Structure 1
Amino acid sequence: MRALSIAATGMNAQQTNLEVIANNIANINTTGYKRARAEFTDLLYQSERALGAPARGGQNNVPEGAYVGLGVRTAAVRHLHQQGSLAQTTNKLDVAINGRGWFQITGPDGQTLYTRDGAFNKNDQGQIVTLDGYEVQPAMTVPQDATDITINESGEVYATVAGQVAPQLIGQLSMASFVNDAGLEPQGGNLYKQTESSGDPVTGVPGDAGFGKIHQGYLENSNVDAVKEITQLIAAQRAYEMNSKVIQTVDAMYGTVANNMR
């Protein structure tokens, strides 16, 4: 019976769905995390009676055919890049993007990676880096005798140096945007990599057309909605149980056939 394999594809799909939901819930407090959603498509169909086949007698065509689907498959796990809420931290090197855009980061092998996580810090040389120590692009270094750091909405970074009245401009944060944010490949560590699906990055200054503004002393929260995730978790569980029930029913029907053949 095809129902056995069809139900098995349904259970596999709901297992993937459950894993995606579990990852969303696990990252509910991850800075800049974008929730994901599993998307599915139906599999091929087997034709028992073709559409437009001649009716009995050959006078007319049948109005409907008989096509039996073979199940479901996972088509994509889409990351939904909606804006998360901003949380105030008062940390001078915490910055959040309000609007479109990505911070550019120099990855471990020198390639450019992208993130919405603006929880930056200084390393032992005063360079502004991520929490994992990756350098923020463009590179900038905070003077050792700096007493304060100010980052305006346009991404200009100023350092107040002891003995100087006017703040000193030490760098300019730039951002990148993509035609298709969903095409970025997640790398872990709140980092994403450019792919052919995302398109080439377009760089600009915060506040320019098509780019968000920078807010110093804030971080962008995860855009995971706990209530929605729990609701989808229950729905996935019910769907898994229904597919499991189909397998139990098919097994019982096989048992009936086997008993009748004895």
Structure 2
Amino acid sequence: MSFRISVSGMNAASSDLDITAHNIANVNTSGFKSSRAEFSDVFAVSAYGLSQTQIGAGVRLEAVAQQFSQGNIDFTGRALDMAISGQGFFTLSDNGNTVYSRAGNFGTSRDGYVVNPAGQRLQVYPPNVAGGFDTGRMGDLRIPNGDAPPSATTKVTIQTNLPADAAPPTVTPFDPNDPTTYNQTTSMTIYDSLGAAHTQSQYYVKTATANQWQLYTYVDGTAVGAAQTLQYSTSGALTSPSPGSITLPAYTPTNGSAPLNITIDLGLSTQYGNAFSIQTQTQDGYATGRITGIDISSEGVVSARYTNGVAKPLGQVALTNFANPQGLQSLGNNAWAETFSSGQPLHGQAGSADFGMVQGGGLEASNVDLTEQLVNMITAQRNFQANAQMIQTQDQIAQTVINIR
């Protein structure tokens, strides 16, 4: 029996060395979680229970417990590298099977899907029409490789200050080609449904009526509607039209695009002092754009950035947590699978309860403490040597007994 006890001790020490070697081998593996050997003693139990004089039968490896402590986050600058700061796992699809990982070293497949080195696809919550994300379902994250479609201008916002002491032009009637027939002019670029650019110009003409102006709008040199009357109060605030919104008649470009239906917002324009100025001049349309980069927010929102200045959300990274992460089954390739011991998966979003934040452009390093592992290696080696010495001692005792005459 004593030989078997010592052999069990040698096996236990060997298992401890194997686990330590596995930890040390993965000291530079992104998202790796170290393991710890947990042992229990062994007693031979009869049908009548355990005697008070019963001697134990050795030791056995009870469990290889994974340690899910946070690893350091190393910043790489790669657009699709991600790290979780806090609790949670990335959710991945492995040919239809759901697996989980802490390693965020993602890239793209030839089809544009965001995958890890094992080819498992990152799962995200898809965007919905309301501007948020559909957290009721998950799908593969895919980076578009085509151009972003254009969007026609529908709203123009202009915030100007018109000089209160301006005099009406001495030359009439208004002629956009004759600067002496108007006081001020501004222009901006707008876009049609095909993404083609057009020039929209506004001409401001002071009238003989106090605090009153006429606004003429032209697109590509063509008048759009009649003149609009702007009336200001004695304190310089716009009173008409109220609340400062002007809807222009439809303008149809000659390139085959849909008609432009534009509303001009002048609600913040004023009439102060003696200087003309432009504070704001914006429009909501844009041309066709090519993708220039990927942005990832701390909430895990992945957006594609285009040359036309548009940032289009592609999805929000789906995180998963478990009541007992140590119950997960390791699958290799930095992936784990759900088990009965881990409990049901809890899906959520970065920054919400029980979930950490997502760090774009970074990777979580292995949580292996190399110094601790080297010390543990020496301890396991000493344990193995001590058990081997016990076998040698027991052999000497057995030889002594055999040699008795």
Alignment TM-score, normalising by the size of structure 2: 0.59
**1:259 equivalent in structure 2:** 403
Higher helix share: 1
Secondary structure of residue in 1 paired with 2:392: helix
1:45 CA displacement: 4.8
**2:65 equivalent in structure 1:** 78
Separation (CA, whole Å) in 2 of partners of 1:194 and 1:46: 34
**1:188 equivalent in structure 2:** 332
| Structure 2 unmatched runs, 5+ | 125-139, 146-289
1:46 CA displacement: 6.8
Counterpart of 1:123, as a letter, is S
- Alignment of structure 1 residues 76-225 onto 2, 5 Å: 76-108=63-95, 110-138=96-124, 139-144=140-145, 145-162=290-307, 164-225=308-369
Counterpart of 1:204, as a letter, is G
**Preserved CA contact (<8 Å) 1:46 1:69:** no
CA offsets 1:30-72 (integer angstroms, 9 cap, x no match): 000000001000001579xx99xxxxxxxxxxxx942311100
Separation (CA, whole Å) in 1 of partners of 2:11 and 2:369: 25
Separation (CA, whole Å) in 2 of partners of 1:137 and 1:65: 57
CA offsets 1:63-98 (integer angstroms, 9 cap, x no match): x94231110011000000000010010001000000
**Preserved CA contact (<8 Å) 2:322 2:342:** yes
Secondary structure of residue in 2 paired with 1:199: coil
Work out whether 1:248 is the aligned partner of 2:389: no
**1:17 equivalent in structure 2:** 16
1:140 CA displacement: 2.0
Separation (CA, whole Å) in 1 of partners of 2:112 and 2:52: 71
**1:60 equivalent in structure 2:** none
Separation (CA, whole Å) in 2 of partners of 1:78 and 1:133: 27
Secondary structure of residue in 2 paired with 1:176: strand
* Range that drifts further, 116-125 or 133-142: 133-142
Separation (CA, whole Å) in 2 of partners of 1:129 and 1:11: 42
**Preserved CA contact (<8 Å) 2:94 2:119:** no
Separation (CA, whole Å) in 1 of partners of 2:111 and 2:306: 16
Alpha carbons of 1:131 and 1:65: their partners in 2 closer, same or farther (altered >3 Å)? closer
Secondary structure of residue in 1 paired with 2:141: coil
Work out whether 1:28 is the aligned partner of 2:14: no
Alignment TM-score, normalising by the size of structure 1: 0.90
**1:67 equivalent in structure 2:** 54
Counterpart of 2:342, as a letter, is S
Structure 1 segments, 4+ long, off by >4 Å, are none
Secondary structure of residue in 1 paired with 2:144: coil
1:151 CA displacement: 0.5
Secondary structure of residue in 2 paired with 1:76: strand
Work out whether 1:4 is the aligned partner of 2:3: yes
Separation (CA, whole Å) in 2 of partners of 1:195 and 1:210: 20
Secondary structure of residue in 2 paired with 1:67: coil
| Structure 1 unmatched runs, 5+ | 52-63
Counterpart of 1:16, as a letter, is S
**2:234 equivalent in structure 1:** none
Counterpart of 2:394, as a letter, is V
Secondary structure of residue in 2 paired with 1:90: coil
Counterpart of 1:35, as a letter, is S
Separation (CA, whole Å) in 2 of partners of 1:140 and 1:18: 40
Secondary structure of residue in 2 paired with 1:222: coil
Separation (CA, whole Å) in 2 of partners of 1:44 and 1:227: 34
